[in-house]
Every structure is written in C-alpha cells, then in structure tokens.
Structure 1
Amino acid sequence: MINENPILATWSSVAETSEVFPVMPDGCRDFIIKQNPGSPPHLFVSHLMSAPQKIFAPKGTTFIGVRLKPGASIKIHRLIGHPLPDSIQGLTELAYDAASMSGNVSDMMRCLALAASPATAAGDLGVSLRTLQRHTMKITGRTPDFWRRLSRARKAARSILSGAPLHEVAPTCNFSDQAHMTRELKCWFAMTPGEISASRDDSHHPVWSICHLGYDTP
C-alpha cells in the first residue's frame, strides 16, 4: 500500500475583534493550536462537520493550523504527552507523525467527490456498494453519501460565488432541481443559493471560506 502526504495545507489567523464566526463544513480535520490573550496555548483536533459551527474568539486570539486531507487517519495516542509545538513547522512535524493517508483511501475519496451516486462510485472502484459503505465508515466515520453530498454542495456554492446562474448550477452539480439544491445548501451552509449569491461582493463574508482548500477542491 502506497502512503501519500496526509497534509493538505497550513494556515494561521488572528482575531482582529472579539467575534463569533461560523466555520463551514469542508470535509477536513485540522490540528489547531489556539491561544487566547493572557492564556496558555492548547492543541485540539477539529471534527468533521455536517453544518456550520459557531466559534467565539476574543480579540487577539491566535490560531495556527495544519489541515489534513479528507480521509486522513489520525493516531490520537501520538498526541498524548507530546510537547506542544510553538510554530507551524513544529505542528506540521507533529501532523506527519500522528496522521497518515493511504493511496487507496485517496482514490476512494476522489471517486466519491466526482460520482453521481455512491453506487456509481462503488462501480468505478470495482467494489460492491456494501463494501464501499463499510470501508468508508471504518476509515472516515461517515457514509459514502455524506462525502458525495458535501462535495456536491461545495461545488455548487463555489460555482454560485463565481457568478454562475442558479438555474445552471443545479443540473451541473447533479441536483434534481433548484429546490433540491436550496435544501442541500441550507443544510450544509445555513444559506440559500440566493444568499450565497448576494455575498459575492463581500470577500470577507464567511461563505468565501468554502473556496479554501477542502474536500473536492483540485
């Protein structure tokens, strides 16, 4: 089995004001070191989300993170007792030690992102649907349909943000109709297609985070 680089990206941010901000589902788990002003830093591993999660950060809170590829495995026991890294480089080294990504899983995740249905993905991978369901749950803790729907929703949101007409986005992204697309985008991102489109001119709007590296992004 060929192993791949489990890391998708590194990032950092500083809260310029005290605020509550939504984090959009992206199909990734991150190793994150968060430090509130006047408090010691702490490390945590984010979980897979199926809806936006609201995070409060006091002004001056700093974050550094390493984003793992969708489907990457995490060896939590490697984190226990490990000295807390104080830099992106140190956190990256920890991620390489505690996370892994096999080529087979990478192929599976790529196939699910592109498939019109879990059954189609199973056929493309040369396995039964039941085998795909069992393997996906074992590796990621989520069903094949979770990944397919998330990929489809992210593609649709990015297309809308790029200016594509709503009536073209729905069929292109394999929704049965615009009403179906509206339900799915509200489910994943708590926003309708119209609300996403209305946010196109505000590059600071949280919806633009959907364009960051995550599941289904080339």
Structure 2
Amino acid sequence: MYREGPAPGIPGGVRWASVSRGDGPVRVLPDGCLDLLWSSRSGLLVAGPDRTAHLSRSVPGERWVGLRLPPGTGPAVFGVPADELRDRRVPLADLWGRAAADLVDRVAAEDGRGAGVTSGRAGGSPAASAFRRPSIAALLEEVALARLRAAGGPDPLGRAVAARLAAGATVAATAAEVGLGARALHRRSRLLFGYGPKTLARILRMRRALDLAGAGTPLAEVAALAGYADQAHLTREVKELAGVPPTRLLPPAA
C-alpha cells in the first residue's frame, strides 16, 4: 500500500504516499536522504539519514505523505546539518518554529478538503488515492522548494559526491575528483549526508545491489557487478545495513 513518483520541482526528489495496514513494522532502508513527512496521526516530521534500517510502526489506516530529498539537499531545506538529524525522526516544529505551525494549518485544511477522496469512490487502493491527492504532496514540495531557493540551492558538492559514489567510485577517487582531501571530504559529507563518505558509499552500493537483484539478476552476479568480493560479502553487508539478508528484501519468486 505504497506509491511513489517524481517531485517535479526538485531534481532527484521523490513524492511518496502510503496507508498502513497495521500488520507490523515496516523496514525502511537507509538511502542517504532526508524526508519531509506528514502523518495523519503524528503530523509533520523530518526523517534524518539512517545508518541502518529504521523500523517504522504505524496504526492501521494511518496515512503518510512524504517528500524524499536527494542526498545532500536536506540541510539546505531544513536549515541544520544532516548529522544533527542522523537516525532520528524529529517534529518539524523543532526545526522551523512558527513556519512549521503555518504549514500545519495549510496541510490540515488540504487534508479536510481531500477527506472524501480516500473513501473508495474513485476506485483503487487507499495508498493510490492518497497519492492522487496532489494537495499535501504539492504543499510539502512547494515549501521545501521555497526554502531551497532562499538558501541559494543545495551545496553542489553533495550531488557530485553522491553521484560518484553511487557509480561505484572509491572514496579516494571521489575526493580527488571534487578537489578535497580525505579529512575535508569526511567533514563536508557529515554535514551534507549525516555520515562520512565510506558509510554513504556502503549504503549506495547496497541500494545498487538490491536494484539489480530486484530486476532478477542472480545474487552471485549482483555481488560482482556491485563491487563486492563475493556473494558472502554482499550478504554480510546487507545484513549489517538492513538487518536481514538480501533474500528477505526481494519480491517473492513468481
């Protein structure tokens, strides 16, 4: 009961929506991103960058709408270094004060106007209905984009470092390409991503491996393509970051 799609105003951003079935925690894998979230039960929250999988617990029927910001973009939107939010879920009011209260009022008004959309009259799943309501997702994106512009845009270093590491470059090669020494890259990475480049590289490599495996590539081949020493190395890394082996994260075989 989850859907996602691009955030038109923020390159690399993702809008997503879900409705909880309440049948246990949902495993959210680390991705180097920060999210602006709205929950029908908890209100507006910020999800910081996780080092390992976060187990999200919701009540049955709880609706979520989120804006996932690409790696390195969140600090410019939220106004705090990413490492201050690492492994945390923080009420937006703690960061934005009165500006968050204004957004709460706007979201509440939009939620009230869209309440009938999730009744099933339009057909489809509750998550699909939540996603079709552009109001809340659009509001989150509108506010994030305004703050991003006011900050002068994201630090371009974040996009460059994340792109190189996602492509499989080593930390040393990435540091050389962006013109920073190892210590400077580590310090800037903590501010932009919440952790150092080695941790970000591990997380992005895991995501790349799971994408390959999800597309049907055998795990032994995935390990070679994603830069692991062997399949056992892949399994150990995924278990450390996700809490379960890769086979638990793949869709069931047809």
Normalising by structure 2, what TM-score? 0.68
Of Structure 1 and Structure 2, the greater strand share is in 1
Rounded to whole Å, the distance in 2 between the matches of 1:157 and 1:185 is 9
Q: How many residues are treated as equivalent by the alignment?
A: 194
Rounded to whole Å, the distance in 1 between the matches of 2:247 and 2:63 is 33
For structure 2, list consecutive stretches of 5 or more residues without a partner in the other structure. Answer: 1-8, 81-93, 108-135
Q: CA deviation at 1:195?
A: 3.4
Q: Are the counterparts in 2 of residues 111 and 125 from structure 1 also a CA contact under 8 Å?
A: no
Q: Alpha carbons of 1:7 and 1:181: their partners in 2 closer, same or farther (altered >3 Å)? A: closer
For structure 1, list consecutive stretches of 5 or more residues without a partner in the other structure. Answer: 203-218
1:75 aligns with 2:79: yes
Identical counterparts, % of pairs: 26
Match of 2:48 in 1: 47
- Pick from 219, 223, 243 the counterpart of residue 166 of structure 1: 219
Q: Are the counterparts in 1 of residues 49 and 193 from structure 2 also a CA contact under 8 Å?
A: no
Rounded to whole Å, the distance in 1 between the matches of 2:186 and 2:157 is 15
Match of 1:34 in 2: 39
**Where do residues 35-184 of structure 1 align in structure 2 (5 Å cutoff)?**
35-36=40-41, 42-72=43-73, 73=75, 74-75=78-79, 79-82=96-99, 83=102, 84=104, 85-86=106-107, 87-99=136-148, 100-184=153-237
Rounded to whole Å, the distance in 2 between the matches of 1:97 and 1:184 is 38
Cα RMSD (Å): 2.3
Rounded to whole Å, the distance in 1 between the matches of 2:43 and 2:234 is 39
1:134 aligned partner, one-letter code: R
- Pick from 168, 191, 208 the counterpart of residue 244 of structure 2: 191
For the residue of structure 2 that corresponds to 1:180, the secondary structure is helix
Rounded to whole Å, the distance in 1 between the matches of 2:165 and 2:247 is 27
Rounded to whole Å, the distance in 1 between the matches of 2:15 and 2:226 is 29
For the residue of structure 2 that corresponds to 1:54, the secondary structure is strand
Q: Are the counterparts in 2 of residues 33 and 65 from structure 1 also a CA contact under 8 Å?
A: yes
Of Structure 1 and Structure 2, the greater helix share is in 2
CA deviation string 1:100-131 (max 9, x = no partner): 42333211221122234211211222332232
